[in-house]
Amino acid sequence: MRAMTRTMCALVILLLVFTAAGAQEEGGLKAREDGNGIDLKGTNEEVTLGEIIHLYVEETGNTVLFDPRKIAGDVTINSPEKGVGMGAEELLNSALKQYRLVLASDGNVMEIIPAAEAVTQCETVTREQLKDLPPGRFVRIVVQLRASDANAVRGALQNLTTRQGGVVNPVAGANSLIIADYAHNMGDLLDLVDRMEAGTEVVSRVYKLEHVKYVDIQDALNSCLDPAQARRAGSPAATTIGATANGKFLVISGVIWEVDRIETVLKQLDVPQDE
C-alpha cells in the first residue's frame, strides 16, 4: 500500500513538472495568427533580444548582422489583456533602444549598431518617404532653410534630438541642415523647423497713406526700426521702409512679425490731423 502511495505521489510530481515545462514552452512571443505583427496580448515576461530579432527576421524576410556580445540582454514586456500587438520591426527597435542600439540598413542586409554610429549608416529620405516609415526607423533628412539661419536653428533643435544618436549638422554656405534621428522624432523636429521658418518669413507690403504725408511721420516710423536686428546672429535683413515720389505709398519689407508691428504703428499715425 505504501509502495503504491509513493508511486502515485511520484506520478503527480512528474505530471506537475511536465505541466510546468509545457507552460514554459507555450510562453514567449508569437507572431499573430493573421500574420500582422507580434501578439503581445497579456504578455508579462522577460524576452531576449535574440528572440525578438528572430521574430523580425521571420516576419520581414530581412537578413540581420550583429555582434552577439552587444545584444546579450533581455527586455521585460508587460502588455494588457486588451493589447493587440505591434509590428516586429517596431518591437525590435523599441527593445534595441533600451541598449542604445539601432537597426540600420547596409545594402542588402540590416545591421544592429550603436546609436551613436547610426548617422553614418542610416538611409537618407525625403519628407514624403518619412510618412510611410516605421516610427523606430533611424533616418537622415536634408532641410533647406528659406529665411532662418542654419546655425541658429541647429542650436534650437540639438537638445531636442534623441540623446543617443540624434544629430543636427548645418551645411556651410548652403543654409541647410542635415538631421538624423528616429522617424517618430524626425516628424516633430521638422514641424518645429516649419514653425520657426514661418516666424522668420521675409515679406513686403504696400501701405497707402490716407491722411498724412510720409515726410511728416518719417522720423516717428524710423524710430520704430531696430538698427541692431541685422547684426544679431540668425536674424534676417533689417526691416526697411521706402516711399514713392509723391509720398502716398509706403513699402515695408522685413520679417513678417516686424512688418506687422510697423504696420500697426503706421495705422495709428495715419489718422486725420487736427487743424
The whole-model pTM stands at 0.61
pLDDT (0 to 100) of residue 41: 72
Let me know whether 98 and 146 are in one domain. no
The rounded average pLDDT for each run of 10 residues, N- to C-terminus, in the chain (275 residues) is 49 37 48 69 82 89 91 86 77 90 84 89 90 88 87 91 89 89 92 81 87 90 70 58 90 84 90 75
In a domain, 275, yes or no: no
Confidence (pLDDT) at 174: 87
Please give the Cα distance from 127 to 143 (Å, whole number): 9
Domain end marker among 199, 218, 237: 199
CA distances from 114 to 71, 98, 120, 122, 268 (A): 11, 11, 11, 12, 60
Coil, strand, or helix at residue 176? strand
The pLDDT value given to residue 33: 65
pLDDT of residue 34: 64
* Domain containing residue 69: 24-112
Helix (H) or strand (E) holding 261, with range, is helix 256-269
Give CA–CA dist 262/204, Å, rounded: 12
Report the pLDDT value the prediction gives residue 228, as an integer from 0 to 100.
52
Q: If 0-12 CB within 10 Å is exposed, 13-18 middle and 19+ buried, where does residue 195 land? A: exposed
With H, G, I as helix, E, B as strand and everything else as coil, classify residue 55: helix
Residue 1 lies in a domain: no
Check: CB of residue 58 under 8 Å from CB of residue 31: yes
Q: Tell me the pLDDT tens digit for each residue of 162-185.
A: 888 899 999 878 889 999 999 999
CATH number at residue 243: 3.30.1370.120
The answer to whether position 274 is within a domain reads: no
How many folded domains does the chain comprise?
Answer: 3
Q: How is residue 94 annotated by DSSP? A: H
| CA triple 112-115-121, angle to 5 deg | 70
Residue 206, domain member (yes or no): yes
**H or E segment to which residue 52 belongs:** helix 49-60
pLDDT number for residue 157: 93
- Tell me, yes or no, whether 108 and 57 share the same domain: yes
